[in-house]
Each structure stands twice: as structure tokens, then as C-alpha cells.
Amino acid sequence: MKILVTGGGGFLGQAICRLLVARGCAVVSFNRGLYPELDALGVQQFRGDLADADAVRGAARGMDAVFHNAAKAGAWGSFESYRLANVVGTDNVIAACRAHGIARLVYTSTPSVTHRANHPVAGGNEVDTPYGEHFKAAYPITKTIAEKAVLAANDATLATVALRPRLIWGPGDNQLLPRLVERARAGRLRFVGDGNNLIDSTYVENAAQAHVDAFDHLAIGSACAGKPYFISNGDPRSARETINALLGAVGAPQVQGAIPFAAAYAAGAVMEGLWKLLPLRGEPPMTRFLAEQLATTHWYDISAARRDFGYVPQIGFEEGLRKLAQTWDTRRSA
């Protein structure tokens, strides 16, 4: 079976590629860059931009299924850059599936599509947790549009499913954890609120397994076709415990300090204005969306994923921390 993975060179994308290769699939990755890790796996790489319809269609030619994992993430950037990657890119993937008669599309979404300011979600499921509104960042806006497009594309010729993994972490993370470590070592990391808000997280191999589980059960008219699913370790913990455990696993300083939500939100508003006005390089250290995310309880019921495609997290929090510590030590000694 030939499978296209968009964003196969990313953190989650590589984990998905590893699982698919291990099963004997011929895997093709569509990336903006080229990745030696994918070469080592035997994954064929196409280099291109998701907003380029011809490039996406060319990469999808001859495929039996698509895992659409690529996206522009983050809490800052021009709306147009997010729209091109997340909305236009997703539309192009759907169109490529139509053009080549590809019958299965697994889409990587995010729980952020249900974000509602600092409204807490405790054990929310896919039915009772509505899409968010009044988003203060381009990322959740464009991912919401994209998820809706993917689910609306489900029909008698194309089966689609959207997965919403929460806070993916583990060996190979080159985004979230390195930034946390850098800020912790510089003494610039604080909890927003008291840090006792419960949050979900997902070990990267569990997130990848959920994608493959959904793929295995996805078919025209199947139980999971046309539906979104929350994905996590199923083990919500406080933000304080989660962040300090990740930092501890890699030998970084623990975080004790905190800033009230109102102060963080106000600082985010000021920084957003400064970054737009001047403009300044990089991302603001705080935004309104980020303040809301960091201070709010967000954990979700994953029983629908278990029921409809048999997703059961295989690697628990503590085991994941051990694996993370081992690989981080190896990386530092290399």
C-alpha cells in the first residue's frame, strides 16, 4: 500500500512514517524541506508547498491513502500565512484525493478548534464540546475551517476522519520542549494562574498509533468516517506537574513562579500591539491566546476513539518520561 504523509518530516509526522514503514507500507512524505531521518527510513520525499495545488496533486498521484499532518502551528504570524498553509493547503489535499480517487484521508486537527477564551473543559467529548468562537489567533481559526472542510468532504467516495491530539511530547520534539528548556534555564518561564489547572498531554508514539488505528478502521460508511476525535494519554494532570515533569526528565530547572491570568492576558495584548506596530522579529513571549491556553483547564474524554477505532494509549506518562530522558541524554552526549 502506498501512503502519502504531508509533513512527514515533522515531530508527529516522523512517528507516523515510522509506524507505516514498519507495517510494510510504501510511504511518501510531502515537506517544505528535506529530512535525512526520512531517507534513513526509506521514505520517498517530495518537496513543495501545501498552497501549491499542482505540487500536492503530483505528490498524491498513485497513493492509496493520505495522512494530512502538515500545518502551520504557533500563536503568532500573519493570518494569510496560516490561511495558505492550513486552509488552502487542506483544500488542495482534499482536491488531490478527489482527482486520484483516493478513498481514505486521515487529518491531524487540534483541540484548539474548540477553544473558548478561558472557559474550562473537563472531560469534554466530541458531541458536547462545540467549536470555539471569538478566537484571538490565526491558528485555531484556520484549523477550525480546515477541520470542517475535511469532515464535510466525507461522502460515498472519500472517507475522512479528524484527530485532535493534545500537547504532543516525547523523544524527537524539536519545538515545544526545547523552548521550555531554554526559557526555564534563562529564568523566564512562569505558570499562568496557579498552575493547578488540569491539562491533557499525548506521548508522541500514542498520537501516531491513534492515527494508524483510525486509518485501519476508516472506510466509506464506517463508524469513524466524517467524525472528529479527541486524542490524549487519557491521564490529565496539572499544568505544574506536567511541565515540571518534562523539564525534570531532561535535567532542566523546575518552574515555581506564576503570573496571574489577568496580568498575562494584559501583557499579551500589549506585546501583540508592539509586534504589529514596530514590527519586531520572532514571536511575542506572550499573547492573549497563549495566556488563555496556559491558564485554563483543558482535558477531554477519549472514549469515542476507543469505541470507534480501538485507540488505547500504550505508553503511560512515567514510561514516556523515561524514554524522553534516555534519548535526551543520548543527544547531549553525541
**What is the C-alpha R_g of the chain?**
19
Closest CA to 69 of 38, 100, 23, 24: 38
Strand partners, 187: none
Task: Report the pLDDT value the prediction gives residue 174, as an integer from 0 to 100.
Answer: 87
Give the CATH number of domain 2-326; options: 3.40.50.300, 3.40.50.720, 3.10.310.30, 3.30.70.980: 3.40.50.720
Distance CA 187, CA 264 (A): 16
Determine the average pLDDT of the residues in 309-333. Answer: 88
Contacts of 140 (CB under 8 A, 6+ apart): 110, 112, 113, 115, 132, 289
Query: Is residue 298 helix, strand or coil?
Result: strand
pLDDT at 334: 44
Q: Is residue 205 over pLDDT 70?
A: yes
The amino acid occupying position 7 is: G
Q: What gap in Å lies between CA 93 and CA 53, rounded to an integer?
A: 8
What pLDDT, in 10s, does the model give residues 131-147? Answer: 999 899 999 999 999 99
Q: Which DSSP letter does residue 297 get?
A: -
Lowest mean pLDDT among 89-93, 157-161, 276-280, 290-294: 276-280
pLDDT of residue 333: 43
Give CA–CA dist 103/106, Å, rounded.
Answer: 10
How many whole angstroms separate alpha carbon 32 and alpha carbon 50? 8
Using a cut of 0.85, tell me whether the model's pTM lies above it: yes
How far is residue 85's CA from residue 87's CA, in Å, rounded to a whole number? 6
Q: What is the mean pLDDT of residues 91-118?
A: 97
What is the CB neighbour count within 10 angstroms for residue 46?
A: 17
Active site residues: 139
How many residues are there in the chain?
334
For residues 296 and 116, what is the distance between their CA atoms, to the nearest angstrom?
Answer: 10
